[in-house]
Structure 1
Amino acid sequence: MYRDLVLESAELVFARKGFDDATVQEIAAEAGISLKTLYAAVPGKNELFEMVVERRGAEFLQETSEVMATDGSVLELLANGVRAYVSFLVRHEAFLLIHLRQGRAWGLPAMKGPSGVQREQGESLFLTVVRRGIDEGIFYDEDPQTLARSGMAVMQAHLMRVVEGIHGGDIEAVADAVLRSLHRLLCRPQVLARLGLPGAA
């Protein structure tokens, strides 16, 4: 009965404080329930954090996967994937903060458990697009894993700008900025020039 309330409250507290500084007492207070009621819904802080990340991460992965499963050129898939990624995280700002704060980032190993599996699935979607872009001569012929991780770092940097108040939460402005940076990072200059894409010199 209280599980959804506890998860929503925990997401807000973890976003504000980070995992280490958040307490179950603060989460219970945010939810307006007693500690006893909280512990009846979830076993502890570690499990609660994993449940928050797993729940929101599943929604995130589903939205992004649906967009990436459509037909289209590699550049259309990249654009659609970026727009889905940015849109979800800007609409769920608490999860965005957790995503950035707790190492859901490009260079760190995935966590164990369901949320780690979700992260690996998300990274795999992006890596598939990068490999296809290389195979089609659209992207630089570099190590795909390095390009994908560099692309994830670019997306993280732009999302930090959202947290800092840049772009005013305008999803299209954020997505366009991310795409310009990714085009410059991934695409061969002659491809950008030929297609008149943002990011061309």
Structure 2
Amino acid sequence: MTKPAPSPSDKAKPGRPPVYTEKERCQRLLRAAEQVFTTSGYGAATMEEIAKSAGMSKKTLYAKYPDKEHLFAAMVGGLWDSPWEDENATQEKDAGAELRRRLHAMVQFIMTSRQVRLTRLLISEAERTPKLARDFHDRVISKARRYLAEAVERARDEGIGPKIDDIDQMTATLLGAALARNHLGALFGRTPKATKKQLEAQVETALRLLGY
């Protein structure tokens, strides 16, 4: 009888490295990179330190990502945990409800501890390494805006909310109003972390103030 192949979740035998699928290996490397980058800073972080944090060899890390720049670019858009990458999300039949759902999801995601840490890192490195900020914009911010803009446009087309011509402007204004001072306070650590209930309340205030 053939012995079944070990599962990635099985505990590895002493002295032998654990077995990961390709996706698990990438996820582990990206999360280790995030930890090292946000703790040490982009400039001080080393590939050796990241490989060690992931519990893998430098050879494995370099086989996937040739340098820190490629690794950082993959990290900011490669953990697949944002609401606009959720393939299982069910779209609301009502355009207003769908706009509300997407705005709530975006605000909750942006305000997670992880996203706040990454934003702080990008701000601190923006002048020395502007490409990092450009990559973040292309891989995350532009997708996020499109995700919300689709709902704003649909609401307008179905006669919900104000009559607007500039979808992008309304999208930016709506998101800014929904984040309000909570995001700035989180970035500077000057205020206690907003609760889910407080964030939801601010989203509802933004929608009401802007005519939704």
**TM-score between the two structures when normalised by the length of structure 1:** 0.65
Structure 1 residue aligned with 2:205 = 180
Instruction: Rate the CA distance shift 1:152–1:17 in 2: closer, same or farther, 3 A.
Output: farther
1:147-158 correspondence to structure 2 within 5 Å: 147-155=170-178, 157=180, 158=182
Q: Which amino acid aligns with 1:83?
A: H
Structure 1 residue aligned with 2:13 = none
- Measured against aligned partners, the alpha-carbon deviations of 1:152-189 in whole angstroms (never above 9, x if no partner) come to 334555333344274535223223223313432x21xx
Question: Aligned with 1:51: secondary structure?
Answer: helix
Question: Aligned with 1:141: secondary structure?
Answer: coil
Q: Do structure 1's residue 132 and structure 2's residue 154 form an aligned pair?
A: yes
Instruction: Rate the CA distance shift 1:132–1:100 in 2: closer, same or farther, 3 A.
Output: farther
Identity of aligned residues (%): 21
Distance in 1 (alpha carbons) for counterparts of 2:120 and 2:89: 23
User: Which has the larger share of helix?
Assistant: 1
Q: Which amino acid aligns with 1:160?
A: L
2:95 and 2:160 in contact (8 A); partners too: no
1:6 and 1:38 in contact (8 A); partners too: yes
Question: Aligned with 2:89: secondary structure?
Answer: helix
Question: Aligned with 1:8: secondary structure?
Answer: helix
Please point out which of 67, 84, 87 is paired with 2:108.
87
Q: Do structure 1's residue 159 and structure 2's residue 183 form an aligned pair?
A: yes
- Matched residue pairs, number? 176
- Measured against aligned partners, the alpha-carbon deviations of 1:15-55 in whole angstroms (never above 9, x if no partner) come to 34554554434434533555455324422111111221222
Distance in 2 (alpha carbons) for counterparts of 1:142 and 1:6: 44
Please point out which of 78, 97, 113 is paired with 2:117.
97
Structure 2 residue aligned with 1:9 = 32
1:18 and 1:102 in contact (8 A); partners too: no
2:32 and 2:53 in contact (8 A); partners too: yes
Instruction: Rate the CA distance shift 1:37–1:73 in 2: closer, same or farther, 3 A.
Output: closer
1:7 and 1:51 in contact (8 A); partners too: yes
Deviation at 1:84, TM superposition (A): 1.7
Q: Do structure 1's residue 59 and structure 2's residue 81 form an aligned pair?
A: yes
Listed as ranges, the gaps of 5+ residues in structure 1 are 104-109, 192-201
Question: Aligned with 2:164: secondary structure?
Answer: coil
Deviation at 1:4, TM superposition (A): 3.1
Question: Aligned with 2:78: secondary structure?
Answer: helix
**TM-score between the two structures when normalised by the length of structure 2:** 0.62
